Structure 1
Amino acid sequence: MTIGEVKELYNGDYNDIEVYEPLSKGKHYPSEFHTDNCKCIESFSDNMEVGLYELMNQDDYNNTLMANCDIYADFDDLYGDKNAKILCIMIK
């Protein structure tokens, strides 16, 4: 599956997209999102291959990708909607 296909699968049911690359590959490729196993990338294209994806609400996001941070994401401040969702994608 590609980034473009994942975006189409969720058909706009998200407020933002974040794309990550894993810190380990091969047999140690992550099975879930966590701040310890991936890093956010700025440059990506819709034809990149996807290894993992998840539509996250504020609690999911704060308990995975922001788990080791001193601050937490407040979706109401960021998106004007506490119930906003972020489509998180990890490339292969």
Structure 2
Amino acid sequence: MMGKIKKDCAFQYYNGREVIADETELTLKEAKKLFNDHYEDMVEQVKGGNGIECAIWINMKGRYDYHDTLIHLHSPCEENGVLWEKKYITGFSEKLIN
């Protein structure tokens, strides 16, 4: 007997003007396919100056459990048809540690 297929992922894509996709209760394979299906449009939107946002949410315990992400692009850059983001990570201040 095969186990139940986990549909604990979601895919969201905002193209800078409107929400293009907001799908929940997906398998990881389905979420990745949606990402790939929209990738060319994401690249074109960024080339056109739009600040896109896109995420694949994983390990969802319920329909609105947006805690873990596989990928989360927020206003990425584009170079040669590839999206990328620069992230700056600083240490925690002493105030935040205590």
Whose strand proportion is higher, 1 or 2?
2
Asked if TM exceeds 0.5, the reply is no
Band of TM-score, shorter chain: under 0.3
Higher relative contact order (CA 8 A, sep 6+): 1
What is the TM-score of this pair, normalised by structure 1? 0.26
